[in-house]
Amino acid sequence: MSAQHHPPGTVANPVIPGLHPDPSVCRVGEDYYLACSSFEYFPGIPVFHSRDLVHWTQIGNVLDRPELHLPLEVPSSAGIYAPTLRHHDGRFHLVVTSVGAGGNVLFTATDPAGPWSDPLPLPDVPGIDPDLAWDEDGTCWVTVAGVSQQPVDLATGRSLGPSRPLWSGTVDAQAPEAPHLYRIGVWWYLLIAEGGTERGHSVAIARGRTPSGPFEPCPHNPLLTHRGTHRPIQNTGHADLVQAPDGSWCLVLLGVRPGGGTPGWHVLGRETFLAPVTWADGWPVVGGLTPELPVPAWPLHPVPEAPVREDFDGAALHPRWLSVRRRPAELVTTGERPGWLTLHAAGASLDAPDAVFVGRRQQHPFCEVRALVDATAGRGGLAVRLDERHHYEVEAVDGEVKVFARIGPLRPEVAAVRVPAGPVVLGIDVAPHPPEDSRTAPDLVVLGLEQPDGAFTPLASLDGRYLSTEVAGGFTGRVIGAYAAAGTVHVDWFDYRPRKDS
């Protein structure tokens, strides 16, 4: 994503598109680092680097070793929630909640690209969305959703004092969460999200003279919300403050881009956005949040676009490639057939918690995906996955290509066609849905195969709303990738290309 691809005076927003929610950011000199939630996907907790807060490159994942995988019993949309990333005394500290697999844990590293330490449990810290802040005497305060706080010894993970309640936002507002505590000038600021993670999501703030309060709320809360508006970005919340290169301030936060008719369906998950911040009377004031940002006053540092094609020539997959809960080396490898990704089936379909799947986030509203798949020794293909109960796939098996649609309790075979023996190019197009009425779907998911002359043959065009958060529930968006449901499946190459109408 680079500035020259957008109208003069603007750059694209979201900053980190597609299934990168719950952003936490820290600045170290001229460098910025950002971490996000990953839920049931492995490797987990993606880490990004930037020099300008606009252009970002994924440099790794905190959970990137086989022993750090998630147990198979962790449900989709559980797992890894809401990291806080901070830099203190020459080390990076990341605290996070592992829902269903260990509670709150701490990781540390000298290099945010890794390696990261083994997780240190924080057994005395219940709750979710932990935050880290150090006061002048070096005490580390851990604040969690609710909102409550306690001092913690980060060498042992044990509490140094009792948990005590802090300010919990607007009276009767649901889900006060995502606390972040900062010392700015003479004040300690407590930033939280409230209103739930759906359309009522918002950002609020309070301040006090000490990290433990008492805190007075900002008279102009919420700092930011898009509830009850027609703005294209909705569900705005879960924010983190950071100082920009020119000394001004910005807010990173999550939001969604609903599409289609009412009630609106978002399919990319919750994404990371950037908004400018000014100060008035000692309080932050958040500027407009739109799909495009004004070009910042500081210099931009564009980064290369991700390549369209992955040829699987390396020994290791790029950090952007995801699997569900785990990725055993004996089931997923690029070494068995050089230049190919090899998948050995475990679960019998994408309904299974141990499904063998390697994919990447759908990061654009509309895109085209192609892959050369050899399933002559097995059964598998390409899939668009939201969770075990919501996915579409185009599958090669025994000289046929079939399309299946898993929607809740149903999984019909939608289409089938005979094909010559051997590898086949399978394809998925995510395209605009023609306008119909107030119930128009957000998009069409077209599944098919590519002919030797390059022509794409659609086999099924499916309503995209059934692979949306509003239908499926949970916290994630779509991931598109290859899977094996029986035997062995090889993938020679995988193309992901955003469509021009994105």
Bridge-based pairing state of the strands 187-194 and 444-450? unpaired
Q: Which residues of 182-217 are buried (b: 16+ CB within 10 A; e: fewer)?
A: beeeebbbbbbbbbbbbbbbbbbbbbbeebbbebee
Contacts 24+ apart (CB under 8 A), 86-91: 86/26, 86/132, 86/133, 87/26, 87/27, 87/28, 87/33, 88/132, 88/134
Report how far Cα 416 is from the mean position of its chain's Cα atoms: 33
Query: Is residue 22 among the annotated active site residues?
Result: yes
Which of these is catalytic: 22, 194, 388, 429? 22
Q: Are 459 and 449 in contact (CB under 8 A)?
A: yes
Which of these is catalytic: 40, 64, 131, 177? 177
Which residues, in sequence order, are CB contacts of 421 under 8 Å at separation 6+?
376, 399
Residue 118 has what DSSP assignment? P
One-letter amino acid at 287 equals G
Which among 266, 267, 122, 240 is positioned nearest to 181, based on CA atoms? 240
Tokens of 369: 């995906």
Q: DSSP labels for 10-57?
A: EEES-SB-SS--S-EEEEETTEEEEE---BTEESEEEEEEESSSSS-E
Q: Are 10 and 1 in contact (CB under 8 A)?
A: no
Residue 124 has what DSSP assignment? T
Q: Measured between alpha carbons, how far is 333 from 140 in angstroms, rounded to an integer?
A: 42
- Please give the positions annotated as active site: 22, 177
